Amino acid sequence: MSLSLSKRSEQVKPSSTLAITAKAKELRAQGRDVVGFGAGEPDFATPSNICDAAINAIKDGFTKYTPAAGTVELKEAVCGKLEKFNHLHYDPAQVIICNGGKHALTNIFDALINPGDEVIIPAPYWLSYPEMVKLSDGVPVIVYSTKENGYKVTAEQIAAAVTDKTKAIVLNTPNNPTGMVYSRQELEAIAKVAVEKDFYVVADEMYEALIYTGEEHVSIASLGDEIYNRTITCSGLSKSYAMTGWRVGYAAAPLEITKRMSAMQSHATSNVNSIAQKAAVEALTGPDEAMKKMKEEFDRRRQYMYGRVKDMPLVSCLEPEGAFYVFIDMSEVCKKEYKGEKIEKAAKIADILLNEFDTAVVPCADFGYPEHVRLSYAISMEQIEKGLDRIEKFLKSL
Ligand SMILES: Cc1ncc(COP(=O)(O)O)c(C=O)c1O
């Protein structure tokens, strides 16, 4: 016997975005007036009708185990939303309710991947995908996009990355960290490759409700029977309903895949908190005014932030179309020196901004782009203005 730990756990890095938020909090606790652009969660309170549904669930004694894959009531509500918003038909048996989008994704990868299977991950990517794939014994295959193509990979690039080990691709639209949205035509071309080359699509649509261009969100699974049969659509309530702490996400898939995920979940975590499930039913079926208001406010901040950043020296960014992030190219800044030291990487920029300008930004090495930073606009307009003033001051000092 030896007291060594698992190889699987050894290769996984802790989440750097959570680490930055923690560092900013720590400085704030020391009395520093830190502006945190790291937030990956809406700054709004969960709408009161949703909270009331949870309070009523407690009062009504809805506090026991539910079926492991979720209550029929919530699965039906998810199906109703998928039908109406995503133009996707699923039976409740094809839906699993999980502990947030993260848990839905880990279930999906566990259901699909055999050791050594490759999963194509377009970059920039949400930093958890490669780690999740590795945790499921898969091999992440990163395909880099260009700014010229809106930080989106093309169907040709994907086709070129396919090998006989390719099991799946992870598609995230609207995208974290870029805020970019794949068009129907782009998704059609990608779907064609997936069908021809015979691999699964993991469609992470966590930010589907937050598109500001007036365009409709397109779910790749809605583009035809063949792609429907190889897509696992996943989303959740965290971002659209300001419900990050409630931990409710879901996946919808061909029945055989959902059955596998449900069996695994029944041993791993059992059901999502029964009270949160009741709240989720209210979120999906109740009034959506609060959600619309949040989206309007995000849009106002998005426009302000993009307007400011595009006029700053040494940096550039594309106008984000969705989610709540601005993805900034800092490669020119990386070539500069600060106090006699070469900057080189966005991680250094983040350090300088935090320690000397009291401003937390997310350096994007863990998202595949070490010379970019991500700024979230899920913070108040007043904070955004203050933080952007500080970033501008830093850039002008170079
Ligand atoms: C693209 C993307 N997918 C999934 C998630 C997970 O969301 P949840 O908090 O519901 O686990 C996040 C959270 O940051 C995300 O950005």
Q: Is the CB of 205 under 6 A from ligand 1?
A: no
Q: How far apart are CA 316 and CA 306, in angstroms?
A: 10
CA of 102 to the centre of ligand 1 (A): 6
What's the CATH code, domain 64-285? Answer: 3.40.640.10
CA of 103 to the centre of ligand 1 (A): 9
Q: Is the CB of 151 under 6 A from ligand 1?
A: no
Q: Which tens digit of pLDDT belongs to each residue from 335-381?
A: 999 999 999 999 999 999 999 999 999 999 999 999 999 999 999 99
Q: Which CATH number applies to 7-45+290-396: 3.30.465.10, 2.40.10.340, 3.90.1150.10, 3.40.1280.10?
A: 3.90.1150.10
Average pLDDT of the segment spanning 281-289: 97
Confidence tier at 1 by pLDDT (50, 70, 90): low
- pLDDT at res. 40: 86
- Neighbouring C-alpha atoms within 13 Å toward the C-beta of 80: 13
Q: Which tens digit of pLDDT belongs to each residue from 227-282?
A: 999 999 999 999 999 999 999 999 999 999 999 999 999 999 999 999 999 999 99
Q: Is the CB of 179 under 6 A from ligand 1?
A: no
Q: Is the CB of 238 under 6 A from ligand 1?
A: yes
Q: How far apart are CA 344 and CA 154, in angstroms?
A: 29
Contact 260, 8 (CB under 8 A): no
CA of 31 to the centre of ligand 1 (A): 30
Q: Is the CB of 249 under 6 A from ligand 1?
A: yes
Q: Which tens digit of pLDDT belongs to each residue from 20-66?
A: 888 888 999 999 999 999 988 999 999 999 999 999 999 999 999 99
Percent of the chain beyond pLDDT 70? 100
How many beta carbons lie within 10 A of that of residue 383, not counting itself?
Answer: 18
Q: How far apart are CA 229 and CA 193, in angstroms?
A: 14
CA of 233 to the centre of ligand 1 (A): 13
Q: Tell me, yes or no, if the two domains 7-45+290-396 and 64-285 fold the same way.
A: no
- Asked if pLDDT for residue 383 goes beyond 80, the answer is yes
- pLDDT at res. 230: 98
Average pLDDT of the segment spanning 286-310: 97
Q: Is the CB of 244 under 6 A from ligand 1?
A: yes
In this structure, is the dihedral angle defined by the CA atoms of residues 351, 355, 357 and 362, taken in order, positive or negative?
positive
- pLDDT at res. 217: 97
Give the chain's mean pLDDT. Answer: 96
- Asked if pLDDT for residue 17 goes beyond 90, the answer is no
Q: Which protein residue's CA is at the shortest distance from atom 16 of ligand 1? A: 176
Q: Is the CB of 175 under 6 A from ligand 1?
A: no
Domain boundaries, the chain: 7-45+290-396, 64-285
- Name the residue of 102, 175, 374 whose CB sits within 8 Å of the most ligand 1 atoms, as the mutation to test its pocket: 102
Residue 258 CB burial class (10 angstroms; 0-12, 13-18, ≥19): buried
pTM equals 0.96
- Asked if pLDDT for residue 18 goes beyond 90, the answer is no
Q: Which protein residue's CA is at the shortest distance from atom 4 of ligand 1? A: 101
Confidence tier at 119 by pLDDT (50, 70, 90): very high
Would you list the DSSP string of 217-277?
P--GGGG-HHHHTTEEEEEESTTTTT-GGG--EEEE--HHHHHHHHHHHHHHT-S--HHHH
CA of 101 to the centre of ligand 1 (A): 5
* Amino acid residing at 30: Q
Beta strands in the chain (DSSP E): 35-36, 95-98, 118-123, 139-144, 166-172, 200-204, 231-236, 249-252, 316-317, 325-329, 337-338, 341-342, 359-360, 362-363, 372-376
- pLDDT at res. 14: 77
Q: Under DSSP, is residue 360 helix (H, G, I), strand (E, B) or coil? A: strand
- Name the residue of 126, 327, 364 whose CB sits within 8 Å of the most ligand 1 atoms, as the mutation to test its pocket: 126
Average pLDDT of the segment spanning 145-158: 97
Structure tokens of 254? Answer: 């061909």
- Asked if pLDDT for residue 15 goes beyond 90, the answer is no
Average pLDDT of the segment spanning 182-200: 98
